[in-house]
A and B are shown apart, each in its own frame.
Chain A
Amino acid sequence: MSDVTPDLELDLKGLLCPMPMVRVSQNITNVPVGGVIRAVATDAGSMADIPAWAKSTGNEVMSAEKVGGEFVFFVKRIK
């Protein structure tokens, strides 16, 4: 995903579930349709939560990776 330039970076480190998902949802309208949020969380629950949120709201998780002790998400606004 290093070739994608995110429109917004979100630092969600230290936030406990479901707050990472809440922050992504609150910020999704701050990027244009087709825009991308890069979010970094430390709560393991976000690995399931953020993809589930994206699917149920019709957005797209382009990638969700564990890097060291962090979870890095690229979320694309679809609508």
Chain B
Amino acid sequence: MEKQTIDSMVGVLDARMNRQLKQYMDICARCAICKDACHQYVATQDMKYLPARRAELLRQIYRRYFTKAGQFLPALYEAREPDENLMDELYESTYACTGCRRCTYYCPFSIDTGWITSVSKGVLIAAGRGNEMLGQLADAALFKADNMDVFDEIIVNGFKDVVRELEEELGRPVAIPVDKQGADILYVALAGSHSIKPAAVIFDAAGASWTLSKFEAANYGFFFGDPAKAKLIADRFMNEAKRLGVKEVVITECGHAYRVAEMFYEAWAKEKMPFKVRHILEVIDEYIKDGRITVDPKGIAEKVTYHDPCQIGRNGGIYEQPRDIMHAIAPDFVDMTPNRETQWCCGGGGGIVAMEEFNDVRLKSGGKKVEQIKATGAKLLACPCENCRLQIEELSKVHDLGLRIVPVMELVAEALR
């Protein structure tokens, strides 16, 4: 590889270096306890999907350029100058990782492979080996934001269509406020109407003061592995929230978008936001408990189960609210085993659903989730993350599960009285 390329890779690693990463690089014992935690390794037994191996590939570069020991005795540590072979393996191992952090949960040192692969992505981007599709999706989102004069009308017209569809479906008007100064809530949805309609119905029923963001919550800059782009993409709705003076930003049923907004954004922006960030399910749970909306306790008569998206559950701490909601509307709610912090990743996270080249490992890695769903006997699955839904829908087709997979809020809207 050219020296210039290596220099920029090392530069990125240096810029992204922090205490946690350094410790993860220094202390991993390569005990491989993580092997049985990873849905991809369990499904394929392929070394490049072993969490410790994913980290080891970055460690080889770290050892070579950031430690004296690795410079003096490269063979002892397998410290390596990056070459095309290393980059090929790093690419496959890194972009395949769904960032579910199930390995982190089981690691005796809590080594965060998801965090390590996010840095590896930065190194790959510096070498011109970032995933093209995720890069394009990130750029398209930024292009929209930079050219709002062109897209504003298209987007607002799209919202008007949603209002018309809702009125046809419900036989009564439901407003979707946009750009409403001083609203309590800025609701950040996805580009599709499926993430807007049920929320609008619920906000309407609760008499909430809300306004819909013109920007989608999805953040392909985060999946791509470029924190600067990820911040710019999140800036769009965070700045909108500041401009409108809302009390809270509510993120739709999307896993990574919630984590970006709640766990990462303030650190990236280096400022405290004048509003709080919540997931829509926290809000709906509160509405039900406070009696602001009334739901039919038998509203969902069918047997239904729930999938914990990693970014909302293990990485976001939202376990009980969705379950309380399900118990409030569905008498035949059953949990999967395992669930909550030990639940299996469905295999669809980290932007992998948009990367065709990983289709094979993605579908194989869903095997555990398929077993779990089958064991519940439910044909209805509530799932508050778009990437999980895309993945499980495909798994349902491939394995002929005949599942109906819906956002939790859609069931709540169905059960509203």
CA distance A6 to B21 in the complex (A): 50
Known: A17-B216, A26-B133. A43 touches B140 (CB 8 A): no
Chain B contacts for A46, CB-based, 8 A: 191
Give the total of B residues in contact with A, Cβ under 8 Å: 30
For the complex formed, measure the closest distance between the CB of B218 and the CB atoms of chain A, giving whole angstroms: 7
For the complex formed, measure the closest distance between the CB of B365 and the CB atoms of chain A, giving whole angstroms: 19
The answer to whether A26 and B136 have CB atoms under 8 Å apart is no
Interface size class of A (residues with CB under 8 A): 20 to 34
Question: Which B137-192 residues sit within 8 Å CB-CB of chain A?
Answer: 137, 139-144, 147, 151, 154-155, 157-158, 161-162, 190-192
| Cβ 8 A contact of B136, one of A43, A47, A48, A56 | A56
B220 at the interface (CB under 8 A from A): yes
CA distance A25 to B161 in the complex (A): 26
A33 at the interface (CB under 8 A from B): no
Chain A contacts for B192, CB-based, 8 A: 16-17, 43-45
The answer to whether A44 and B137 have CB atoms under 8 Å apart is no
B380 at the interface (CB under 8 A from A): no
CA distance A26 to B355 in the complex (A): 9
Known: A48-B154, A52-B141. A22 touches B193 (CB 8 A): no
Known: A25-B133, A48-B144. A56 touches B190 (CB 8 A): no
Known: A18-B191, A26-B356, A52-B151. A47 touches B139 (CB 8 A): no
The answer to whether B161 and A44 have CB atoms under 8 Å apart is yes
The answer to whether A44 and B162 have CB atoms under 8 Å apart is yes
The answer to whether B194 and A21 have CB atoms under 8 Å apart is no
CA distance A45 to B137 in the complex (A): 13
CA distance A55 to B118 in the complex (A): 27
Chain A contacts for B133, CB-based, 8 A: 22, 25-26
Chain B contacts for A16, CB-based, 8 A: 190-192, 194, 386, 390
Per-residue CB contact flags for chain A residues 4-21 toward chain B (1 = under 8 Å, else 0) read 000000000000111101
Q: Which of A26, A43, A49 has the most CB of B within 10 A?
A: A49
Question: Which A26-72 residues sit within 8 Å CB-CB of chain B?
Answer: 26, 43-49, 51-53, 55-57
The answer to whether B190 and A53 have CB atoms under 8 Å apart is no
Chain A contacts for B390, CB-based, 8 A: 16, 19
Instruction: Label chain B's interface by main secondary structure.
Output: helix
Chain A contacts for B155, CB-based, 8 A: 48
For the complex formed, measure the closest distance between the CB of A59 and the CB atoms of chain B, giving whole angstroms: 10
| Cβ 8 A contact of B137, one of A22, A47, A48, A51 | A22
The answer to whether B354 and A48 have CB atoms under 8 Å apart is no
For the complex formed, measure the closest distance between the CB of A42 and the CB atoms of chain B, giving whole angstroms: 9
| Cβ 8 A contact of A56, one of B139, B162, B191, B216 | B139
Chain A contacts for B137, CB-based, 8 A: 18, 21-22, 25, 53
Per-residue CB contact flags for chain B residues 225-243 toward chain A (1 = under 8 Å, else 0) read 0000000000000000000
Chain A contacts for B162, CB-based, 8 A: 44
The answer to whether A56 and B154 have CB atoms under 8 Å apart is no
CA distance A50 to B191 in the complex (A): 12
CA distance A56 to B139 in the complex (A): 6
The answer to whether B142 and A56 have CB atoms under 8 Å apart is yes
CA distance A18 to B353 in the complex (A): 10
Known: A48-B144, A53-B136. A43 touches B193 (CB 8 A): yes
The answer to whether A47 and B154 have CB atoms under 8 Å apart is yes
CA distance A53 to B220 in the complex (A): 13
Chain B contacts for A48, CB-based, 8 A: 144, 151, 154-155, 158, 191
Q: Which of A17, A43, A48, A55 has the most CB of B within 10 A?
A: A48
| Cβ 8 A contact of B220, one of A18, A26, A51 | A18
For the complex formed, measure the closest distance between the CB of A13 and the CB atoms of chain B, giving whole angstroms: 13
| Cβ 8 A contact of A45, one of B142, B147, B191, B356 | B191
Q: Which residues of A are at the interface with B, using a C-beta cutoff of 8 A?
A: 16-19, 21-22, 25-26, 43-49, 51-53, 55-57
16 further interface pairs, Cβ-Cβ under 8 Å (given A16-B192, A48-B151, A57-B139): A17-B191, A19-B353, A19-B390, A25-B133, A43-B192, A45-B158, A45-B216, A47-B157, A49-B140, A49-B191, A51-B151, A52-B144, A53-B137, A53-B140, A55-B143, A57-B140
Residue pairs across A and B with Cβ atoms less than 8 A apart, 6 shown, are A18-B220, A18-B354, A19-B390, A46-B191, A53-B137, A55-B143
Q: Which residues of B are at the interface with A, using a C-beta cutoff of 8 A?
A: 133, 136-137, 139-144, 147, 151, 154-155, 157-158, 161-162, 190-194, 216, 218, 220, 353-354, 356, 386, 390
